[in-house]
């Protein structure tokens, strides 16, 4: 399987090189996103080891009950007259018993062979009996058992630079492997210098906003734009949109409603009560340092404005005033960066770069699920879809944007494309040997002469 993936990568790099020679790549802005698709795995066969052990015990119990019932019916049948109906009932009972036994044996074998899967925080995550490399993930269409197919897309003509499926529903750790994979792919294409990642910007949605992802961007020298979940609430352009209004704007008191008393280093609330300084400087999870002021509990308990002032069931009002300076964490620095006008403009291009790619693959190419099991096979399937997307880009755009006129590289283009088609036909032959294939590709060797016929 690794050999096959290696062959696809070589073809992918060839196509990438042709795309570059045809002027379809800029290397200035890359966008990353993921498509969560169901795999060839059953969601009901998911669970932690504890849950799966309980399921196995339940199956064993059910099997024992059915077996006892089957034997009882057998004894009754011996006393009754034989007939077609009796024979059919017996065969159905035996088939049902057989299915139940197979399920119980499969689950027991899985529990013996597999190890519990560990999540990012060291906790156990759900395993899956049918495809243990897939993951249960939340999507806009509900919960699916499948893969999170990632694609890194170039801005100029939405060519996919690198694609890789992941068996994790979270995007918090995807940037590192994707950038490393893109680097390898560019090196394979001989484009490491012309399309160096160090010269590129990377945009991705709020799901990618994490310390790990930002650290990976730093390590690869990429200029990252990975906003947090609340960046639109801070953006004045969305001030009139109800769903992007912050809690403060919905009527709750903010810092601006409190008056600072410099002489006493305290704040006075709208009810005239004093909030005194409790902590001169303390850090928080967002990487900033704050100065904290608190009201007295007895003042807030009797206050008629309490519902406008205190969130949740807090006993008294507390204000955290940022101290300024360079934030300590990467995520805090990213929040400060994304709040600037140039960063907002760069991030605003993300949607038009990466989303049409997924729309094409999902709607036009009808990719609505992965049909193979295991990360390696799914990786082959995803790479082939990415490859087809790039070939389609070449077919549609190369004539328009490539070099024009006699002797301007067209013969070189056709030579390269012919080489790609040769590789692809050999690849399909290999694929049919490895996988049970749909009828379209069941006889790829018959296609080969057609693809290789000189024009």
249's CB contacts (< 8 A; 6+ apart) are 239
Identify which of residues 30 and 300 has a Cβ nearer to ligand SF4 in the complex: 300
Determine which residue in the list 196, 305, 320, 423 makes contact with ligand SF4, applying CB under 6 A.
Answer: 305
Task: Specify the stretch interacting with ligand SF4 by CB under 6 A; choose among 115-123, 297-305, 366-374, 401-409.
Answer: 297-305
Told to check if 220 binds ligand SF4 by CB under 6 A, we report no
Minimum distance from residue 279 beta carbon to ligand SF4 (Å):
17
Cβ 256 to ligand SF4, closest distance in Å? 14
How many residues contact ligand SF4, by CB under 6 A?
A: 13
Q: Give the nearest distance from C-beta 294 to ligand SF4 in angstroms.
A: 9
CB nearer to ligand SF4: pick between 289 and 306? 306
The residue among 40 and 273 lying less far from ligand SF4, judged by its C-beta, is: 273
Task: Name residue, tokens 């018959």.
Answer: 446
Q: Which segment (7-15, 188-196, 263-271, 439-447) binds ligand SF4 by CB under 6 A?
A: 263-271
Least distance between ligand SF4 and beta carbon 251 (Å): 13
Among 106, 199, 306, 337, binds ligand SF4 (CB under 6 A): 306
Does residue 270 bind ligand SF4 (CB under 6 A)? yes
Q: Which of 295, 386, 413, 420 binds ligand SF4 (CB under 6 A)?
A: 295
To ligand SF4, the closest distance from the beta carbon of 307 in angstroms equals 9
Kindly state whether residue 391 participates in binding ligand SF4, applying the rule CB under 6 A. Answer: no
Q: Which of the ranges 15-23, 268-276, 334-342, 357-365 carries the binding residues for ligand SF4, by CB under 6 A? A: 268-276
The reply on whether position 310 binds ligand SF4 by CB under 6 A is yes
Q: How far is the CB of 276 from ligand SF4 (least distance, A)?
A: 12
Binding site for ligand SF4 (CB under 6 A): 269-271, 273, 295, 299-300, 303, 305-306, 309-310, 317
């Amino acid at each position: 399987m690794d050999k096959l993936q290696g062959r696809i990568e070589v073809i992918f790099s060839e196509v990438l090189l042709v795309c570059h020679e045809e002027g379809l790549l800029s290397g200035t802005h890359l966008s990353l996103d993921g498509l969560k698709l169901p795999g060839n795995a059953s969601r009901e066969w998911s669970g932690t080891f504890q849950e799966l052990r309980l399921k196995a015990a339940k199956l064993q119990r059910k099997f024992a009950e059915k077996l006892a019932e089957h034997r009882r019916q057998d004894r009754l049948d011996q006393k009754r007259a034989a007939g077609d109906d009796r024979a059919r009932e017996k065969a159905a009972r035996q088939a049902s018993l057989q299915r139940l036994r197979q399920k119980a044996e499969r689950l027991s074998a899985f529990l013996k062979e597999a190890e519990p899967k560990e999540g990012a925080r060291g906790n156990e995550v759900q395993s899956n009996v049918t495809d243990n490399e897939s993951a249960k993930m939340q999507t806009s269409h509900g919960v699916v058992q499948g893969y999170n197919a990632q694609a890194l897309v170039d801005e100029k003509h939405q060519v996919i630079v690198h694609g890789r499926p992941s068996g994790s529903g979270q995007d918090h750790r995807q940037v590192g492997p994707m950038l490393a994979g893109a680097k390898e792919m560019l090196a394979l294409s001989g484009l490491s210098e012309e399309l160096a990642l160090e010269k590129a910007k990377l945009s991705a949605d709020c799901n990618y906003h994490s310390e790990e992802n930002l650290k990976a961007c730093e390590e690869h020298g990429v200029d990252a734009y990975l906003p947090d979940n609340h960046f639109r609430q801070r953006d004045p352009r969305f001030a009139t949109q109800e769903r992007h209004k912050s809690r403060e704007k919905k009527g709750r008191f903010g810092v601006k409603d409190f008056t600072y008393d410099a002489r006493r280093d305290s704040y006075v609330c709208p009810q005239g009560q004093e909030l005194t300084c409790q902590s001169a400087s303390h850090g928080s999870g967002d990487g900033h340092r704050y100065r904290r002021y608190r009201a007295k509990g007895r003042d807030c308990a009797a206050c008629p404005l309490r519902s406008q002032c205190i969130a949740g069931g807090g006993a008294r009002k507390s204000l955290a005033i940022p101290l300024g300076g360079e934030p300590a964490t990467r995520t805090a620095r990213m929040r400060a960066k994304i709040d600037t006008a140039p960063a907002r403009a760069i991030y605003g291009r993300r949607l038009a770069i990466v989303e049409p790619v997924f729309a094409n693959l999902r709607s036009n190419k009808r990719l609505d699920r992965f049909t193979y099991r295991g990360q390696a096979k799914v990786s082959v399937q995803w790479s082939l879809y990415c490859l087809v997307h790039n070939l389609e880009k070449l077919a549609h755009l190369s004539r328009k944007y490539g070099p024009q006129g006699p002797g301007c590289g067209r013969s070189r283009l056709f030579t390269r494309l012919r080489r790609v088609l040769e590789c692809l036909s050999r690849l399909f032959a290999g694929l049919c040997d490895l996988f049970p294939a749909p009828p379209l590709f069941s006889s790829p060797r018959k296609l080969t002469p057609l693809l290789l016929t000189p024009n």
